[in-house]
Amino acid sequence: MKFAHQFQVALQEEGFPEQWVKEAFPYKQLKKTIKRVANELEAHNVDLTKLPEGSFEYNFKGDRKGFTPKLTLFYENKPGSNKTQPVKSILSLFPRDPVSTNEATNEAIDQAGLDANSSPSTIPDAVPGSEKATDYRQVEIVVPLMFDAEFFGLIQGDVQSLDQIQQREREDLVQEVNNLHRELVPLAEPAKNRKKSDMYKWRELFEIYLDAGVFFSRREESRGPRTSAEAKKQLEWFQGEVKRRGLATNFQLPGSKKALDRFLKINVTLWQNLKYQEINQQAVGKILKKFDKNTHLGASQTFSKLIESHSIMSEDMAKAICAKINDDVVNITPKLSDYICPVCTSIVWRPIRLKCQHNICVNCCIHFQNHRMRFCPLCRAETIMEADTDSIDADLSRYLKRYFVDEVREKQIENEIKDGRERFGVLYRHPTERKHMHCSVM
């Protein structure tokens, strides 16, 4: 299947908005323009494949806002050299008014007596009597092409159009994330009555989302932005995992289902942007390669740098939106991993804030002090022995008790069981354990 057909199929089948399809890269139109450029070169009798290496240059004068493509041919006029037929033909094209970067060259060619219909067997090494004859050693001739400017102008206009699409989409997605934030705050807030809050459901859902790494991989072997195909696979995995765990059906609050739908829609829209820009980027690369293959001008690398655009490389947009999702949505529910004691690897209950500003559990701190372990387990600062009851971070304790009710309760019970067995022996049973005990006395 040819790329032009693949491109059109992708535009039609991926569910892109109608406006995006209309403003997609004009691949077919540009293919026709390439033929015109090739015909134009042929009409000028310019066959770049037959010229010696380094005898021509094709570049762009200007910047991204405005530029002009320019084909310059170089002829080294060395005394006694035998001029090749391609060079003689080229020079004969511009006998009277060649567009040259060297006026002395113009004058020298003019004095040489070349005319438009001549095919001289030799070209003079120097023009007798000319004071500027030495300037004739390098002849620079600009070939007047027209359709190459049309070709690159079309690409430039399309890139600007893609920029505008992406800017609009970015603004819309930012607004959607802001709306989702306002919607989620009351749904994910802690409440005394668990039936009036979906905090734990949203925390679990966002943990799955972070594990999925939909648009950016955090794994060492594949760290970085994902392709649209990879992002689609990860998004489908996330949706499947949410369904498998029954999170969407177990929400306590009706608004949570609506918020989840909005969250998924934001991710799907971001994926569509990634896919749309990806196929347009591919189309740009393909058409530039086709241009070089048919004209041999070697423009692809130079022009790609000139039009380098955030629309064609939409990684910046994905980063910005993902960062906003993380800051304004995912972080609504605090992550347990941010409040783990580095010693016991469970929630840092009754946290001791060391002078190095790291936190560890009060029981872990006492254990370190009893064993004369003086160094912070994270930064190795000598701060353990200086900690006391005044080092307990009361504000953090209240915060953890509010947002991690289950984890704090489990840690409290764990600490009480440990203390009870140290005081009363291994037969000590905590009240929560006694519920499951049965009397064996008959």
**If DSSP codes are grouped into helix, strand and coil, which group holds residue 343?**
coil
Considering only residues 57 and 106, tell me which one the structure prediction assigns the higher pLDDT.
57
If we measure between CA atoms, which residue out of 305, 306, 308, 302 comes closest to residue 71? 302
Residue 410 tokens, joined: 């489990």
If we measure between CA atoms, which residue out of 63, 127, 62, 118 comes closest to residue 90? 118
For residues 228 and 275, is the Cβ–Cβ distance under 8 A?
yes
pLDDT at 374 over 60: yes
**If DSSP codes are grouped into helix, strand and coil, which group holds residue 70?**
strand
Residue 199 tokens, joined: 């905090």
Residue 177: what are its φ and ψ, rounded to 5°? -65, -40
Looking at residue 296, its amino acid is H
What pLDDT does residue 434 have? Answer: 66
Comparing 30-39, 53-62, 125-134, 185-194, the range with the smallest average pLDDT is: 125-134
pLDDT at 353 over 70: yes
What pLDDT does residue 356 have? Answer: 95
What pLDDT does residue 220 have? Answer: 77
Could you read off the pLDDT of 37-89 as tens digits, one per residue?
Answer: 999 999 888 888 888 778 888 988 877 777 888 898 887 665 555 444 444 44
Residue 413 tokens, joined: 């019970």
Q: Which value, in Å, is the radius of gyration of the alpha carbons in the chain?
A: 36
Rounded mean pLDDT, 340-365: 94
Considering only residues 191 and 311, tell me which one the structure prediction assigns the higher pLDDT.
191
pLDDT at 3 over 60: yes
Q: Which residue is it, tokens 């310059």? A: 72
What pLDDT does residue 68 have? Answer: 87
> If you write DSSP's letter for every residue of 335-384 in order, what string do you get?
-GGGGB-TTT-SB--SEEE-TTS-EEEHHHHHHHHHTT--S-TTT--S-G
Give the chain's mean pLDDT: 82
Comparing 109-118, 199-208, 421-430, the range with the smallest average pLDDT is: 109-118
Q: Give Cα separations from 193 to 189, 197, 258 (angstroms).
A: 11, 7, 22
If we measure between CA atoms, which residue out of 244, 86, 58, 80 comes closest to residue 152? 58
Comparing 188-197, 360-369, 372-381, the range with the smallest average pLDDT is: 188-197
Distance separating alpha carbons of residues 137 and 114, to the nearest angstrom: 17
Distance separating alpha carbons of residues 177 and 263, to the nearest angstrom: 8
pLDDT at 210 over 60: yes
pLDDT at 109 over 60: no
Q: Give Cα separations from 406 to 199, 208, 393, 400, 401 (angstroms).
A: 12, 19, 20, 10, 9
Give percent above pLDDT 90 in the chain.
48
pLDDT at 111 over 50: no
Residues in a beta bridge with 141: 73
396 CB neighbour count, 10 Å cutoff: 16
Please, what's the b/e burial string for 264-285 (b: 16 or more CB within 10 A of its CB; e: otherwise)? eebbebbbbbbbbbbbbbbbbe
Residue 303 tokens, joined: 């022009």
What domains can be seen in the chain, in order of their start residue?
Answer: 45-144 (no CATH), 148-333 (no CATH), 337-434 (3.30.40.10)
Considering only residues 237 and 305, tell me which one the structure prediction assigns the higher pLDDT.
237
| Reported pTM | 0.76
Considering only residues 435 and 98, tell me which one the structure prediction assigns the higher pLDDT.
435
Comparing 117-121, 136-140, 351-355, the range with the smallest average pLDDT is: 117-121
Considering only residues 154 and 315, tell me which one the structure prediction assigns the higher pLDDT.
154
Distance separating alpha carbons of residues 127 and 83, to the nearest angstrom: 16
Distance separating alpha carbons of residues 132 and 130, to the nearest angstrom: 5
pLDDT band of residue 138 (cuts 50, 70, 90) is low
Could you read off the pLDDT of 400-438 as tens digits, one per residue?
Answer: 999 999 999 999 888 888 888 888 887 888 887 765 555
Give percent above pLDDT 70 in the chain.
81
Spatial neighbors of 200 by CB under 8 A, at least 6 apart, are 194, 406
If we measure between CA atoms, which residue out of 55, 60, 46, 58 comes closest to residue 94? 46
What pLDDT does residue 45 have? Answer: 85
For residues 321 and 177, is the Cβ–Cβ distance under 8 A?
yes
Q: Where are the alpha helices (DSSP H) in 215-346?
A: 228-244, 254-295, 300-306, 315-328
Could you read off the pLDDT of 269-312 as tens digits, one per residue?
Answer: 999 999 998 999 899 889 999 999 999 998 887 787 766 654 44
